[in-house]
Structure 1
């Protein structure tokens, strides 16, 4: 594969150039019980940018706002050369019903707050962070388009939403002449492949670049977990909060640890680390634009960047795919089977192009 951070990719159906690995800034700040203090966060930022990286991901409520504030400090001298992505819709003030959700009031208030914290007059890429099933899609799209027309936001995107809603929104944006969605952020890794059912194919069809978060499964694919962690107990200082979080999310399972074992096996054969193999697997998917890496130390970031140099053989890919395989479910298994093919094509030979 042999990529570099300055081997840029186009994001969705836009001309925006982004690095093949995005730097996640959810680790900037320690308010959540793990992460990097300001000096360490600055080292992460500088290392990524010095290597040619330009795609940085944050959100208005990451580390209670510290993530955006720190990025505002770090980007003062090179703001124009960076693609800053942030998000809105998560609750900003508990108890205030309109300080969360994707509606127009929260959209505009969130963007103004992000602009102040980031010390900038525009956001390159704005995601709707979490779908909540309460706000009409026309209200969301029109609000996003208004911000683009005002120049406060350059591109809009969406995260954590059903595929049918995203495709519907894209169709409405096209029909109304509103700003299209250019990116879809989803959880995607060897232990979370549900996006392959509908989200990733939909994104390719509708012109959204896929930006996966948690490409290492919340750390499970780094090789740091064992069968002893199935109990939910942790003894190492500094890891307990994150491990507890992973248990709460239901990630520490026998199945996922078996996938991690296969990742370690392939990593040993290649002379690489498990984290590099897990990231390389995500990178090789043609439907993926730029996985987000969330390191806490420069050493971790250096290791993550090494994934750009990993070449997985066809045999490695088969073994990783088989170990992590999911059932695609109806109608995908039916449509991909011989019965459906016979019913629609008979014994004709039809070559699919494109």
Structure 2
């Protein structure tokens, strides 16, 4: 596991060098009522870059565009040292049907607006943010390729999309000689491991670097909540503006998740770090594929504390306990294939080298 932000990794099938932890900027700007003001946001970016961090994640939707605007302001004079990832898809003008979605018109419209807000000539990594199930994959991938050819983006990525659709898109790009996808952004944490069924193996096979959003399970893995919160926040409106409402509305308050947190707290005490740092370190310890956590925070002190996850060291036994506590039940065909594999191999020992 990397111990420093400047122990760079190449991203997916590309040669792009990025830090093993990405700075998430959804909290840059207080437009939504719970983010960080400008000075605090700048301090987080300064802490990250002073330590050698270069991989910065934003989106055109975050804080109504303020996140991108602040980044453009903060990166003046050091833009070339940053790898900026931003996204399009979420509707930025409610009531305007073409101001959201995956289609080419919104892609072109959104990238131009992001370039202006970020005050840059190019975007290093441009994601489709959320799959809408409406735009043809040919339209999307040709649109990405045209933006790469025009020099407006350098690489394309995808977020929050079914594995089979991502596989179709990557295969089409390879067959047509278009710019491929190099990154996959998904929710992944100790309490959200269902991505291990298909999304992570797909990323490994097709050459996509993996970035994990909400590595702290919307705050569950900080250990600050208790089982009393299950009833206390039942039926909470996810869009009410409070973090506890988000956790509850997204299904975070469950007996299973609190069982996972109990084990997390035990391991955290053993390694001498906080539950949050320990949960992030669990992601950093994963291999095949390597996972890059996206760390966002509301204060510079909180962000700096979370970066200490790079210092956590586990024993094999501690990792096994975390894995076992958060294990997911295999789904078909993954639950079926191991049962018939002896008949497939016919008694031979066969492994695929990596």
User: What's 2:78 paired with?
Assistant: 78
User: What's 1:175 paired with?
Assistant: 175
Taking structure 1 as reference, are residues 264 and 147 closer, same or farther at Cα in structure 2, changes over 3 Å only?
Answer: same
CA RMSD for the aligned pairs? 1.3
CA drift at 1:240: 7.0
> SS of 1:14's equivalent?
coil
Confirm or deny: 8 A CA contact 2:36 2:299 kept in the other structure. yes
Q: Distance in 2 between matches of 1:185 and 1:227?
A: 30
Unaligned runs of 5+ in 2: 235-239
CA drift at 1:106: 0.3
Q: Distance in 2 between matches of 1:298 and 1:14?
A: 31
Confirm or deny: 8 A CA contact 2:29 2:37 kept in the other structure. yes
* Correspondence 1:268-347 to 2 at 5 A: 268-286=269-287, 287-335=289-337, 337=338, 339-347=339-347
* Correspondence 1:234-249 to 2 at 5 A: 241-249=242-250
Q: Distance in 2 between matches of 1:247 and 1:321?
A: 24
CA drift at 1:2: 5.1
CA drift at 1:346: 1.5
Give the total of aligned pairs.
Answer: 348
TM normalised by structure 1 equals 0.96
Q: Distance in 2 between matches of 1:141 and 1:53?
A: 30
* Correspondence 1:163-202 to 2 at 5 A: 163-202=163-202
CA drift at 1:22: 0.1
Confirm or deny: 8 A CA contact 2:189 2:279 kept in the other structure. yes
What per-residue deviation string (whole Å, max 9, x for no partner) do you get for residues 292-326 of structure 1? 00111122112111111111111111111111111
User: What's 2:237 paired with?
Assistant: none
CA drift at 1:352: 2.6
Q: Distance in 2 between matches of 1:352 and 1:229?
A: 46
Taking structure 1 as reference, are residues 161 and 2 closer, same or farther at Cα in structure 2, changes over 3 Å only?
Answer: closer
What per-residue deviation string (whole Å, max 9, x for no partner) do you get for residues 164-203 of structure 1? 0001100000011100000000000000001100000000
Q: Distance in 1 between matches of 2:218 and 2:13?
A: 29
Q: Distance in 2 between matches of 1:181 and 1:42?
A: 30
> SS of 1:291's equivalent?
strand
Per mean C-alpha deviation after superposition, the further-off stretch among 25-34 and 185-194 is 25-34
Confirm or deny: 8 A CA contact 2:57 2:86 kept in the other structure. yes
TM normalised by structure 2 equals 0.96
Tell me which stretches of 4 or more aligned residues in structure 1 moved more than 6 Å: none
Matched, 1:255 2:256: yes
User: What's 2:49 paired with?
Assistant: 49
Confirm or deny: 8 A CA contact 1:2 1:311 kept in the other structure. no
